[in-house]
Structure 1
Amino acid sequence: MKKYILFYLLFCLSVGGWAKDFVHPGILHSSEALRRIAGLVKNDVNPSMGSFNKLKAEPEASYHYCIQGPFRFISRSGEYGYTKSPCEDDFNAAYYNAIMWNITKDRRHADKAMEIIRNYAATLEKIFPMDAPLCAGLQGFILVNAAEIMRYTYVEEHNENGWTYKDTKQTEAMFRNVFLPILSEFYKTKPYTNGNWGIAVTKVQIGISVFLNDTKLYDDALDFFYHGKDNGTLPNYVAETGQIQESGRDQAHCMLGIGCLAEIAEVAWNQGDDLYGALDNRIMKGCEYLSKSNLGYDVPFHVWKDLTGKYSNWQSLGQAGMGEFRAVFELPYNHYVERKKMEMPYTKMVLNRIRPEGAGFTCDNPGFGTLLFYLGKDGERERKGRINENLKENLFGWQFAAASLKLKDDKMMLMSSGISCKKKGIMYDAGSYPYIAIKISHLPKNHNKNWFALSYNVMSAPEFWVFGESDAQIMDGNIYVFSIHGAKSNNGTEFSKGLTNVTLLMDFGETGGEGLDVEWIRSVADLEF
């Protein structure tokens, strides 16, 4: 009898191995993750609330969203290219409303997500070229995440309009019959694209494999991730130095690719497999290289020899999109730094600049990472009416008229022939904090002496309170402290002592190309700070 049992076990292994015990929900978000996301909002955790506020402001996150499809045929270009934008909106709306349902428990969000999923599952028949693998990969991943969440959090037993057996059969059929043929054909085809295509295909394949409880699809996705003969595998997309196959092309595609790699790794992590650690934390190296280079630091670069032979002539870093950061950095950062207690100093600098993350670009990546993937502590909240701008860590909201941020003498400095910047919408209480202190580590020799100003509307017209260096008390050699109490505007108006919505302005004028390094701006109650 034992021989027969052993033979049976060996036979099972020989025809495909053990069936995987999938975790549900378990694509980008496990049950634990969904509870954590809801808890971040319930407990008003900073900076996650910033992402949540951006999410709920999206039209696609509203339960009033009007579905623009469903479409029988979808494509990114060609005859059915007109479906690209409305279909992306619909799939994002399904995903956003699924997230909003789990946060708010408002069934109207759940019903909106179900409406979109059901309509497409009943209608969608085919994805057309030219970019069918990208269409299936990017749009499909958003949709399968929405379906996975709703299938396991809005069940028929507890909700009148909840997920049914019919929904399961119809949605599974859509993914098997419409999406999977595109993915299978791509995997079998000789490499012909940049790496972001293969990565997009793999992320939707691993997502669909979880939804379908299909071990072979899951294993095939992991095998391609490691060993596929394509630019879109981990070793073929990210070098040991962190350089990315598309680094010489432009930065937007690199951010797309790294974001998708992290999403693949997160799905696998939820299923008990560690792809983040693959090849000595190669995804982390790619993210750090991407962050460092886009911050203006020097990075090693070699001419990449890709598998197609078509993308092997880029001689230097692609400048298109340089420094234009997409919402893809929170996910890898929170895994490596918060989960694994590793360091990602350059990615941290990026996040300090862009937090809280907002929407992803179209359907490329999910976005809102400061809510969806945040594993850090509750950040310090600003006291009402107090200014606390750390320009070395966070430039969010600042507008630069002429200056650009560049690396000089190991510091990120504002470099231009004329440097001016401003930030609107700052709530300032001059009655409680009558002084504004500005720390400047390096002030150009040649500059406008009246470089600091505040502005707000009086009787619907803007007025300006301009301060010169001679008005400041200089502390510790480089901290300029301006007294706002009693200051008068260009029209003679005394600055308000109440809570006021102001604009901060700094205009240093012509500096002869010499850099400026402003560290922080703070309002203080007295000079003992």
Structure 2
Amino acid sequence: MARARTRTRIRPRTALLSVLALLAGLLSLQLSGPASRATAAPTTFTHPGVLVSRGQLDYARAKVQAGQQPWKAAYDNMMASSYASLSRNPKPRAIVECGSSSNPNNGCTDERQDAIAAYTDALAWYFTRDSRYAKKAIEIMDAWSATITDHTNSNAPLQSGWSGSTWPRAAEIIKYTYDGGWANSGRFATMLRTVYLPEVISGAETKNGNWQLVMTEAAIGISVFIEDRTSYDKAVSTYLARVPAYVYVAADGDLPKPPANSSIDTEAEIVKYWQGQSTFTDGLSQETCRDFGHTGWGIASIADIAETSRIQGQDLYPKIQERLRQALGFHTSYENGATVPSWLCGGSVKKGLDEVTEVGFNALHNRLGIAMSNTQKYTEAHRPSGTDNYFNAWTTLTHADNPS
């Protein structure tokens, strides 16, 4: 692990810090502006192409059919879940109202879980070729697209991100692999365009980073499904600016990068935003000292977005892979039992990273050959991954050791 950078006192903004911030902003614009090739949407979108590709699905399906592990256990786990039940009845609402911590919870859980169920059924269809699962996925998606008009209350953007990142995964598989037809796919696309995309596309710079990252994941997935190149470009630019403000690496200097387009720019403000943490080391996240659960969501979205971009032919992994590698290794080391040093979060962390490492681990370790011993130990010990009931689901099945 890299040497921690310790801040012994909080200083007022200095001229040097302002100059450095300006230079960082110019560099960010250079890397993430619309003229950059890495931010350009593909001329032709690849379908299915949100988080999982046809090649990945075919690879995992062949492993399941051959009874190989961990795919067979992951598949059995998915098919035994309530999300794969053919008797499931969707619970759509016109207005989904979600306050802080989903209180009030007027349709919040129902929406998230119906989205996961639609994705589960879409995967079940692909793996079994049993049309009942495709029809159930369509039933769920049609019920919501015929009903929902808005999200309200303080958690509306976050709720839209959670559900909005899952719906396109299901829709992509059904629209582009099910030959039985989906009459209301256009209405579903309209729902994504008018109900979800406006909530997530503008970001949430001053919120904890997992908010903006999952909102951006939703914006990317929706843009692929509705083939909106402008929104795709905007979401990628947001992503390339947010990842450096969420995961610290020593090359950033004494302080983490501030969130783009926010007023959080002085040393005191940055430390406060990082949960009071004033010592920084490779892989530390803006939410590490909050808890590992929320941090895991942020890391998951970082990997998910990069995975979708790779499928779409505009691979973002090279731009974020060092931060993703460091974040995974840093947090899994403590999950694996490493002693928490006194300088980190007051000497105590709230663990619970959950099953969020498969996508990033597969991309960096299996495809790129990067050694990741802590992440490998953690990932293999937590297989097969299930679902967190928010937006992560069945990644051992779809991404474990998957070269496609």
TM-score (normalised: structure 2): 0.77
**Matching residue of 1:357:** 385
Residues 76 and 84 of structure 1 are in contact (CA less than 8 Å); yes or no, is this contact kept in structure 2? yes
1:255 matched to 2:296? The reply is: yes
Runs (4 or more) in structure 1 with deviation over 6 Å come to 16-19, 299-303
Identity of aligned residues (%): 30
Q: 5 Å matches for 1:219-298?
A: 219-227=233-241, 233-240=242-249, 241-279=282-320, 281-298=322-339
Residues 299 and 327 of structure 2 are in contact (CA less than 8 Å); yes or no, is this contact kept in structure 1? yes
Letter of the structure 1 residue corresponding to residue 354 of structure 2: R
Cα–Cα, structure 1 residues 211 and 280, in superposed 2: closer, same or farther, change >3 Å?
Answer: closer
**Matching residue of 1:399:** none
Residues 60 and 92 of structure 1 are in contact (CA less than 8 Å); yes or no, is this contact kept in structure 2? yes
1:26 matched to 2:45? The reply is: no
Cα displacement (A) at 1:352: 3.0
Larger Cα-atom Rg: 1
Letter of the structure 2 residue corresponding to residue 183 of structure 1: V
Q: 5 Å matches for 1:56-205?
A: 56-67=79-90, 69-77=91-99, 81-155=105-179, 159=180, 162-164=181-183, 167-184=184-201, 186-187=202-203, 191-205=205-219
1:330 matched to 2:353? The reply is: no
Cα displacement (A) at 1:299: 6.8
1:346 matched to 2:382? The reply is: no
Letter of the structure 2 residue corresponding to residue 45 of structure 1: Q
Q: SS where residue 21 of structure 1 aligns?
A: coil
Cα–Cα, structure 1 residues 38 and 299, in superposed 2: closer, same or farther, change >3 Å?
Answer: same
Cα–Cα, structure 1 residues 242 and 17, in superposed 2: closer, same or farther, change >3 Å?
Answer: closer
Q: What is the alpha-carbon distance in structure 2 between the residues aligned to residue 319 and residue 277 of structure 1?
A: 30
Residues 247 and 318 of structure 1 are in contact (CA less than 8 Å); yes or no, is this contact kept in structure 2? no
Cα displacement (A) at 1:300: 7.5
Q: When the two structures are aligned, how many residues end up with a matched partner?
A: 333
Cα displacement (A) at 1:276: 2.1
Please state which structure has a larger fraction of its residues in strand.
1
**Matching residue of 2:230:** 216
Cα–Cα, structure 1 residues 80 and 325, in superposed 2: closer, same or farther, change >3 Å?
Answer: closer
Q: What is the alpha-carbon distance in structure 2 between the residues aligned to residue 44 and residue 142 of structure 1?
A: 27
Q: Could you list the runs of 5+ residues in structure 1 that have no partner in the other structure?
A: 1-12, 228-232, 304-314, 378-529
**Matching residue of 1:526:** none
Deviates more, 1:80-89 or 1:99-108: 80-89
Find the partner of 1:50 among 53, 65, 73. 73
Cα–Cα, structure 1 residues 204 and 149, in superposed 2: closer, same or farther, change >3 Å?
Answer: same
Residues 74 and 80 of structure 1 are in contact (CA less than 8 Å); yes or no, is this contact kept in structure 2? no
Residues 251 and 318 of structure 1 are in contact (CA less than 8 Å); yes or no, is this contact kept in structure 2? no
Find the partner of 1:38 among 45, 48, 61. 61
Cα–Cα, structure 1 residues 23 and 132, in superposed 2: closer, same or farther, change >3 Å?
Answer: same
Find the partner of 1:319 among 349, 354, 359. 349
Q: Could you list the runs of 5+ residues in structure 2 that have no partner in the other structure?
A: 1-34, 250-281
TM-score (normalised: structure 1): 0.60
**Matching residue of 1:493:** none
**Matching residue of 2:24:** none
Residues 97 and 110 of structure 1 are in contact (CA less than 8 Å); yes or no, is this contact kept in structure 2? yes
